[in-house]
Structure 1
């Protein structure tokens, strides 16, 4: 409120700065004087020689650590990839907070590796992440949300998904890991905002403690950011328009519902963002989800005039993907056959490879959830191709990474199996007869 001045009585105030009638930083009196909505609070972020930085906190948001952060910077100056790589390289522990407009994301780090992450954005919630990964369907998500409202906020949404029979406990565990990874990967799509890091053994307020490789998440996040930039270029093309699919809005909620309603029968992307005051990157992520559930489609204006749906938005055609998946699954079958022959049977290698498949599913749930090894270590090519076609970005690369985990493990077994003579020669012959994995 202009015209009112309060001597500081918060942490870091100098001697003599306190007077009895002055409010403390974060007090109700100061919040009221600044005209903050009821329930909002102020946290002290940074004390500098000439400035004190306070941040607004909504009732549902977590508070900041009491001590000032070791780092507080603009993302334009200190990109998040640089910050996370530095933390990882030095093996530090602590809490990283990112802020952009009303976006709040937190990452807990222990000895340089990610142990947990949270976001206040609906698109980053567990249900939406599982939906985007193809693990659950939209109807399942909405049914679970209705059940969750009945049991109340004291329970966990993941528990409801398991109780409703939509997930097994193992699938929920993989889903939580995937959600945390998605929150971290989403950070690299932001070109603006602030990042703060508090060093120390700061634990998240939950029972989940993961250990996720920070270096991998940074690389995947940068790749995801590049893919989102390509999708944004398509959305901002003046020849491209968005159109809502009739009858698909009833099950939507939050930003996705607002986007679908604003798009209506046809509207360009930038106009929708202006009307809703959405930033481009966040809106693009929500539109990816809307396309996945069939609620929104992209239309291209051809040279002759008139709108037609443009199927060229599919980055890889089915034939190319089918050929790639077939080649990768042949590698898995041939390598597993060598190990089974050396073992004297299939039981052992199928059990070991099944465990690797379970672990890999945690990284690639959209591709591998529910996929099982069949006799001869074969996989359902049609299922993998169908799921691969729904992936955003470089689909062939993602498929190769997922199935490559199985191939790498089997190559390891071939090289180290005591009953396999001259394994390098065997692998060389295979490379000469099979497509490059």
Structure 2
């Protein structure tokens, strides 16, 4: 079958689907294992680099003990079923039949007969549409509402527990629990229906401790600067964003993959994640120094784009906050 963006092949034996392949990267066996939480991204990338015509990814996974043979077999079956079920949402494409010999080692025993798979695919298509009305996006963040919960299944209880912080997307929650996407959507929809969870489009929890205080203080400052500067200089945000991409080490390490938001703030959760693994004292120092560098970059842009009278009070706020934060973190010692 030729579809928009790739190809799929279904293999039949005596009228039953026994195997399927896909050129879509999201339906690769490695991606299926990653989505089920069986392998981490770095390990998957490393093993993929070793794949050749004589050594498959599955063989490497088992030989190196990354995945048990049973888990590999289940993932392969999930992969084939996923390839089939996603066909039901295709809007256009072409297909043809071809008589071929199927190698015995390709044949998988699927969980259902072909007739039942077709019925299941149609059911999933309808239910997915229903689920997404409440879920909105799998890249949104489920957050526990605080409502008392009772008689939860094990999977529901785990999802509720992981949703307490509100910092993981629905897709990430499914992976942590080891759920296939449709199964995860079904459970999440049930919790939304019971109003035990709500969906947020951004991480909603505040960052605790000194790191949270530093980030909140600087983000409030950046918001004030941008609100004032953009009234006078529309190109101000582009100038600051360009300067952030050219920051030297160690600031570029702390701010890697951090985008400047439209209001001038920075994603604190991403920054804290970049600092993970460091000692607390090093985290505070690197965070303070990096945000101080961003503030300095902003003041340079202010001096270029605003006249002295307009820039002076904003620059004074930057200097005052920087001194206050350094005193709070012992940066002047």
**Structure 1 or 2: more strand by fraction:** 1
Same fold judged by TM-score > 0.5? no
Normalising by structure 1, we get a TM-score of: 0.33
